[in-house]
């Protein structure tokens, strides 16, 4: 029993809380100065291999998942639970009683309390009326149990004594919500090319694949710009497919995620895979040399001799590739004239009989024909963050309660006042003894108390 | 003749308000040494004038942003953030000045506001041109997030000023040994044989102490709300309410610092110099969270500075 009370004192102590505040803040600080979640090679580059090993051993590279950070957080939770469990009975007693008697309060000599003695020729009943005007309704009356004196107990703002308890409770609610999300939720990431679909996403923390209960298809991707080409919106049109049936098609934007089946999909990034290689077939339409053909495996940006007509050519990517057009153009260089450069645009002929459209460019007697579409086309993809935060509402409820209860806890000051009225000189005089104890030691409380006393003195006539 | 852009977007008026804040600061500084009430009143007048000009400038700037096709309020880049910071702390001081007789606080508050405005107007990092808002910031949460946090920053700035006043006052007063045992809580003022003009202008330490507490808890309520709103926003924009982004982490550190203050104050009865120091240190943490994190550690919250890449 003694052991338990010692443990209880330790785990519910404010000292422990203050230690934890400082320790958690200090560790969090380290985490902001050392970039978290880089790759090993990046760290070795930044710090050098020796320092890297020390930092790794200390857990500084993934500090928010380190055992000691989680340990401190767990200790804070224990501290919170114990503290709340201890605050509750105290609060109940402060609000509903039983309240200590005048004498008990006087003997306690709380440093926060103020004590005042007055005298009046009025009777106890009349004085009570005067006091009630100042302090409100008395909570408890104890009539004459010790030598003809009357005791009054006043309490102001006592109901707000619950707010610190509620505030601590709300933090527990927030933490429970966070833990449930941690256990049953996930945060993952996937890239989908336009026109393709997937039901696999990769966890942010360890890149392990997660199978989603539905398939996501990216139908369209679009970036909208302000007039000066600053991006205004990134819009993906996605479809949710469940059991081969499209159940939902929606536009998804930053700040406007799509939620289905408790899983939320966010627009996180975008990009395109640029073509790196072009497979080109050159056909000559020149009647003198009708059979000329050549296959070239051309890299973007490099120049190649066409082998006919005395020209070289290269593929140059457009700075801003347009939709429905190839992301690069053909650049023809005449070998004999250095600067004669001609840009030739590619044409795309959709052909219903062919699987792939025919893509060609024509220059004089030559036709440049594409094959190997896969390497040619620019694929836009949309990076999506996919997360399951089923218990996030608990976090929000906790936050709202916390803010409201903080307001009441901080700005309302409970004041308890004990009054003892004792008859003296055979009922000619009444001695009034007043003790007032605030919950928070505020100068304004004592000012108000002094003013109340002065007022009462005036009303009682000296 | 078409008017200059600085007139259209309101930035000229912020620069004009800077002059009034500077005048007010000088007035309060003179007041410290002379103690003439009239001077403090004139300084307060300058400050009110600058506040009115700034209010006007904000309205113009918002309308202008709307006209050039930006739907979100112009509060997101470093310039706007700094002028808004100055605006909020001036507003806070005006409120404090109405409730308490805190003229002596004027020189600290106007100094902080002046620094923010000078930084905004003259630093090459802060540009007054209104940039279109990047997609991540196009949200209704933005306005509430920023207002809640700036109210708290303003309150913490005021607590910093009060903390310094307390330290000056108690530092000077602890020397003469006429301290009475204040067993009945308060009421008795500590008598000082010889007191400088400046010190006599300050309210008694106990009143400053209470004001520090009240201003800080006001800040803490709004800081908590601001963090919660930010988390809700992050949840709807990025897929998680918390991602240990440096600014998020520093806001947590700030929150913990003030939680320490509140617990020590309310349960351990800490007061006086210790609390004044925490108010001063707390504001240093706030400033680091507000500006230091952006300037030193890049993250999701970095203010748009010229030449930086917008984040999705």
Q: Is the domain of A286 the same as that of A355?
A: yes
Contact B231 A399 (CB under 8 A): yes
Measure the CA–CA gap between A416 and A94, rounded to whole angstroms: 9
Q: What's residue A412's pLDDT? A: 87
Of A62, A89, A116, the last residue of a domain is: A89
Domain that holds residue A266: 186-274+379-388
Contacts of B210 in chain A (CB under 8 A): 442-444
Chain CA centroid to CA B165, Å: 16
What pTM did the predictor assign?
0.79
Of A338-347, B50-59, B176-185, B192-201, give the range with the top mean pLDDT.
B50-59
Q: Determine, yes or no, domain membership for A128.
A: yes
What's A341-410 look like in SS3? Answer: EEEECCEEECCCCCCCCEEEEEECCEEEEEECHHHCCCEEEEEEEEEECCCHHHHHHHHHHHHHHHHHHH
Contact A254 B267 (CB under 8 A): no
Number of H helices, E strands in chain B: 11, 0
For chain B, the average pLDDT equals: 81
Q: Is the domain of A260 the same as that of A307?
A: no
What's the angle, vertex CA B12, arms to CA B8 and CA B13, rounded to 5?
100
Angle between helices B272-287 and B205-237 (to 10 degrees): 30
Contact B138 A255 (CB under 8 A): yes
Contacts of B71 in chain A (CB under 8 A): none
Write out the H or E segment, with its range, that includes residue A187: strand A186-193
Domain of A436, CATH number, reads 3.30.160
Closest partner residue to B249 (CB to CB) among A28, A270, A399 is A28
Q: Give the β-pairing of A429-438 and A293-299.
A: unpaired
Q: Determine, yes or no, domain membership for A394.
A: no
Over residues B179-188, mean pLDDT:
42
Q: What's residue A72's pLDDT? A: 92
Q: Determine, yes or no, domain membership for A211.
A: yes
Q: Which two tokens stand for residue A318?
A: 């457009």
Q: Determine, yes or no, domain membership for A25.
A: yes
Q: Is the domain of A249 the same as that of A384?
A: yes
Q: Is the domain of A210 the same as that of A324?
A: no
Q: Is the domain of A9 the same as that of A132?
A: no
Q: Is the domain of A80 the same as that of A101?
A: no
The pLDDT tens digits along chain A (462 residues) read 788 888 888 998 999 999 999 999 999 998 888 877 777 777 788 788 888 888 888 888 888 888 899 899 899 999 999 999 988 988 898 888 788 888 888 888 788 888 888 888 877 777 877 787 777 777 655 555 555 678 888 888 888 889 999 999 999 999 899 888 888 888 888 888 888 888 889 888 778 888 999 999 998 888 888 777 777 888 889 999 998 888 989 999 888 889 888 899 988 887 776 666 667 777 766 666 655 667 777 777 777 777 776 777 887 777 776 666 667 777 887 766 665 677 777 777 766 665 566 777 777 777 777 665 444 456 678 888 898 888 888 999 999 999 999 999 988 888 888 888 888 777 778 888 889 888 888 888 888 888 888 888 888 775
Q: Determine, yes or no, domain membership for A397.
A: no
Identify whether the C-beta of residue B92 lies closer than 8 Å to the C-beta of residue B158: yes
- Whether B179 shows a pLDDT value over 50: the answer reads no
Closest partner residue to B185 (CB to CB) among A33, A411, A446 is A446
Q: Is the domain of A288 the same as that of A236?
A: no
- Whether B161 shows a pLDDT value over 80: the answer reads yes
Contacts of A393 in chain B (CB under 8 A): none
**What would the DSSP string read from start to end of A127-180?**
HHHHHHHHH-SEEEEEESSSSSEEEEEEEESGGGGHHHHHHHHHHHHHHHHHHH
Q: Is the domain of A128 the same as that of A72?
A: no
- For residue A182, what are the contacts with CB-CB under 8 A and spacing of at least 6? none
Q: Determine, yes or no, domain membership for A170.
A: no
Chain A: closest CA distance from residue B49 (Å): 31
3-state secondary structure of A110: coil
Q: Is the domain of A192 the same as that of A318?
A: no
Of A373, A403, A428, the last residue of a domain is: A373
Best of B239, B245, B304 to disrupt the A interface (most A CBs within 10 Å) is B239
Q: Is the domain of A51 the same as that of A193?
A: no
Of A39, A72, A89, the last residue of a domain is: A89
| Nearest residue to B219 (alpha-carbon basis) of B119, B96, B104 | B96
Q: Which two tokens stand for residue B131?
A: 């940039």
Q: How confident is the model at residue B189 (pLDDT cuts 50, 70, 90)?
A: very low
Per residue in B42-79, pLDDT (tens digit) is 999 999 999 999 999 999 888 888 887 777 778 778 88
Measure the CA–CA gap between A295 and A306, rounded to whole angstroms: 10
Q: Which two tokens stand for residue B193?
A: 């044989």
Structural domain total, chain A: 4
Measure the CA–CA gap between A265 and A262, rounded to whole angstroms: 10
Measure the CA–CA gap between B221 and B219, rounded to whole angstroms: 6
Q: Is the domain of A52 the same as that of A105?
A: no
Measure the CA–CA gap between B213 and B221, rounded to whole angstroms: 12
Q: What's residue B304's pLDDT? A: 42
- Whether B302 shows a pLDDT value over 60: the answer reads no
| Nearest residue to A402 (alpha-carbon basis) of B144, B223, B98 | B223
Q: Is the domain of A7 the same as that of A51?
A: yes
Contacts of B144 in chain A (CB under 8 A): none
* Residue in chain B nearest A112 by alpha carbon: B185
Q: Determine, yes or no, domain membership for A124.
A: yes
Q: Tell me how crowded residue A355 is: count the other CB atoms within 10 A of its CB.
A: 7
Which has the higher per-residue pLDDT, B70 or B249?
B249
Q: Which two tokens stand for residue A11?
A: 């785990």
């Amino acid at each position: 029993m003694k052991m338990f009370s010692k443990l209880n004192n330790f785990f519910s102590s404010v000292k422990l809380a203050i230690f934890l505040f400082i320790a958690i803040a200090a560790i969090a600080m380290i985490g902001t100065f050392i970039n978290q979640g880089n790759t090993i090679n990046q760290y070795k580059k930044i710090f050098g291999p020796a320092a890297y090993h020390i930092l790794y051993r200390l857990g500084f590279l993934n500090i928010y998942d380190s055992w000691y950070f989680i340990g401190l957080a767990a200790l804070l939770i224990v501290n919170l639970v114990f503290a709340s469990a201890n605050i509750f009975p105290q609060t109940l007693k402060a609000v509903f009683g039983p309240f200590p008697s005048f004498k008990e309060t006087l003997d306690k000599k709380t440093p926060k309390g103020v004590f005042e003695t007055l005298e009046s020729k009025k009777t106890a009943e009349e004085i009570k009326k005067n006091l009630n005007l100042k302090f409100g309704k008395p909570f408890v009356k104890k009539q004459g149990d010790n030598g003809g004196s009357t005791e009054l107990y006043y309490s102001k703002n006592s109901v707000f004594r619950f707010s610190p308890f509620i505030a601590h409770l709300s933090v527990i609610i927030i933490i429970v919500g966070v833990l449930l999300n941690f256990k049953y939720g996930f945060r993952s990431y996937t890239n989908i090319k336009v026109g393709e679909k997937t039901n696999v996403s990769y966890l942010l923390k360890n890149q392990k694949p997660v199978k989603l209960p539905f398939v996501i298809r990216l139908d369209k991707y679009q970036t909208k710009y302000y007039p000066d080409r600053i991006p205004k919106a990134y819009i993906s049109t996605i479809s949710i497919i469940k059991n081969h049936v499209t159940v939902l098609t929606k536009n998804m934007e930053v700040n406007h995620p799509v939620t289905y089946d408790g899983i939320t999909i966010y627009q996180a990034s975008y990009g395109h895979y640029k073509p790196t290689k072009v497979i080109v077939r050159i056909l000559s339409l020149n009647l003198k040399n009708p059979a000329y053909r050549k296959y070239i495996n051309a890299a973007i940006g490099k120049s190649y001799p066409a082998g006919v007509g005395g020209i070289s050519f290269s593929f140059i990517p457009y700075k801003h590739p347009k939709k429905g057009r190839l992301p690069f153009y053909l650049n023809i260089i005449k070998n004999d004239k250095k600067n004669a450069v001609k840009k030739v645009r590619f044409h795309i002929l959709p052909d219903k009989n062919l699987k792939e459209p025919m893509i060609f460019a024509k220059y004089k007697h030559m036709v440049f024909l594409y094959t190997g579409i896969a390497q040619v086309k620019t694929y836009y993809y949309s990076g999506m963050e996919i997360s399951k935060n089923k218990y996030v509402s608990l976090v929000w409820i906790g936050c709202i309660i916390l803010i409201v209860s903080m307001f009441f806890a901080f700005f309302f000051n409970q004041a308890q006042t004990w009054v003892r009225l004792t008859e003296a000189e055979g009922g000619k005089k009444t001695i009034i003894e007043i003790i007032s104890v605030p919950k928070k030691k505020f100068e304004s409380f004592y000012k108000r108390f002094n003013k109340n006393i002065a007022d009462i003195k005036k009303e009682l006539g000296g | 003749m078409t008017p200059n852009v600085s007139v259209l977007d309101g930035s000229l008026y912020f620069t004009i308000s800077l002059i009034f804040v500077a005048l007010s600061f000088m007035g309060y500084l003179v007041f410290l040494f002379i103690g003439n009430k009239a001077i403090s009143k004139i300084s307060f007048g300058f400050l009110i004038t600058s506040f009115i000009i700034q209010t006007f400038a904000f309205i113009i700037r918002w309308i202008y942003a709307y006209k050039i096709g930006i739907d979100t309020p112009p509060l997101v880049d470093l310039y706007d953030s700094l002028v808004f910071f100055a605006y909020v702390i001036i507003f806070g001081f005006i409120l404090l000045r109405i409730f308490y007789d805190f003229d002596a606080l004027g020189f600290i508050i106007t100094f902080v506001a002046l620094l923010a405005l000078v930084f905004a107007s003259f630093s090459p990092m802060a540009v007054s041109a209104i940039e279109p808002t990047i997609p991540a910031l196009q949200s209704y949460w933005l306005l509430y997030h920023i207002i809640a946090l700036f109210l708290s920053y303003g309150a913490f700035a005021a607590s910093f000023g009060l903390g310094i006043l307390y330290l000056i006052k108690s530092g000077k007063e602890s020397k003469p040994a006429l301290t009475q045992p204040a067993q009945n809580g308060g009421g008795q003022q500590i008598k000082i044989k010889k007191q400088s003009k400046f010190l006599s202008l300050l309210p008694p330490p106990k009143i400053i102490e209470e004001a520090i507490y009240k201003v800080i808890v006001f800040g803490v309520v709004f800081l908590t709300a601001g963090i919660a709103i930010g988390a809700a926003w992050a949840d709807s924009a990025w897929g998680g309410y918390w991602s240990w982004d440096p600014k998020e982490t520093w806001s947590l550190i700030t929150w913990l610092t003030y939680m320490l203050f509140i617990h020590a104050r309310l349960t351990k009865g800490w007061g006086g110099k210790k609390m004044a120091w925490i108010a001063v240190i707390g504001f240093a943490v706030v400033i680091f969270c507000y500006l230091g994190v952006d300037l030193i550690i890049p993250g999701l919250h970095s203010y748009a500075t010229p030449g930086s890449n917008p984040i999705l």
